[in-house]
Amino acid sequence: MVNARRELCRFSLFNQLVVVASDPEDIAQIMKRKEFSDKAQFFYGFIRSFAPRGLLQMNGPDWKVHRHALEPAIAKEAVETHFHVFSEAADNFSKSFPRQAFDVHKALGLPLVRVFMRVAMLAEELGPADEQRLRDAAHVLDETLEAVNTRSFQPLLWPEFVYNRTPMGRRINRALGEIREFVDATIVQRRLQAVRDAEEAALGRGVARKQIMLDKMLQSDAFSNQDIMDEFFTFLSASTDTTTTSLSLIFKMMSISPEIQDRVRAEVDQVLGVGADARSVELQDLPRLQYMEQVIKETQRIAPSTPFLARQVYQQTELAGKTIPANSTLIVNVHGAHHDPVHWPDPWRYDPERFAPGKQHHPCAFIPFSAGPRRCPAGFYAMMAMKTMFASVIRDYVIEPVDDGVREAKDLKLTFNLTARIIGGTFVNFRPRTTLAG
Q: What are 78-116's pLDDT values in tens digits?
A: 889 999 999 999 999 999 898 889 999 999 988 998 898
> How many whole angstroms separate alpha carbon 433 and alpha carbon 274?
10
Tell the burial category of 72 from Cβ atoms under 10 Å away from its Cβ (0-12, 13-18, 19+): middle
pLDDT value, residue 180: 84
Higher pLDDT, 255 or 11: 255
Lowest mean pLDDT among 4-13, 132-141, 148-157: 4-13
Instruction: Of 220, 222, 232, 234, give the one whose Cα is nearest residue 191.
Output: 220
Give the pLDDT mean for 231-257. Answer: 91
pLDDT value, residue 123: 59
- 3 state DSSP class of 166: coil
> How many whole angstroms separate alpha carbon 39 and alpha carbon 330?
9
Beta-strand ranges (E) seen in 194-307 are none
Domain ranges of the chain: 9-432
> How many whole angstroms separate alpha carbon 300 and alpha carbon 286?
18
pLDDT value, residue 437: 42
Give the pLDDT mean for 384-401. Answer: 97
* 280 neighbors 323 (Cβ within 8 angstroms): no
Binding-site residues for heme, in ranges, read 376
Any idea what DSSP says for residue 332?
E
In total, the chain counts a number of residues equal to 438
- Whether residue 6 has pLDDT greater than 70: no
> How many whole angstroms separate alpha carbon 69 and alpha carbon 17?
35
User: In Å, how far are 31, 250, 352, 363, 434 from 399, measured between CA atoms?
Assistant: 38, 10, 18, 32, 13
Binding-site residues, in ranges, read 376
> How many whole angstroms separate alpha carbon 30 and alpha carbon 39?
12
What order of strands is seen across the sheet that includes strand 16-21? 9-13, 16-21, 328-333, 308-313
Based on C-alpha coordinates, what's the Rg of the chain?
22
Q: Rounded to the nearest 10 degrees, what angle do helices 290-302 and 225-255 cross at?
A: 100
Higher pLDDT, 124 or 26: 26
Mean pLDDT of the chain: 88
Q: Beta partners for 237? A: none
* 7 neighbors 318 (Cβ within 8 angstroms): no
Fold exhibited by the domain 9-432 = Cytochrome p450 (1.10.630)
pTM here is: 0.91
- 3 state DSSP class of 17: strand
pLDDT over 90, % of the chain: 50
pLDDT value, residue 393: 97
Q: Beta partners for 318? A: 323
Any idea what DSSP says for residue 411?
G
Q: Which letter, b or e, does each residue of 43-65 get, where b requires 16 or more Cβ atoms within 10 Å of its Cβ? A: bbbbbbbbbebbbbbbbeeebeb
pLDDT value, residue 176: 85
* 399 neighbors 255 (Cβ within 8 angstroms): yes
pLDDT over 70, % of the chain: 93
Confidence of residue 125 (pLDDT cuts 50, 70, 90): low
Higher pLDDT, 222 or 87: 87
- pLDDT (tens digit, 9 = 90+) per residue, 30-61? 999 999 999 988 778 888 888 888 888 889 88
Tell the burial category of 149 from Cβ atoms under 10 Å away from its Cβ (0-12, 13-18, 19+): middle
Instruction: Of 438, 437, 432, give the one whose Cα is nearest residue 400.
Output: 432
Amino acid present at 16: Q
- Whether residue 1 has pLDDT greater than 60: no
> How many whole angstroms separate alpha carbon 419 and alpha carbon 245?
7
What order of strands is seen across the sheet that includes strand 397-400? 102-103, 427-432, 397-400
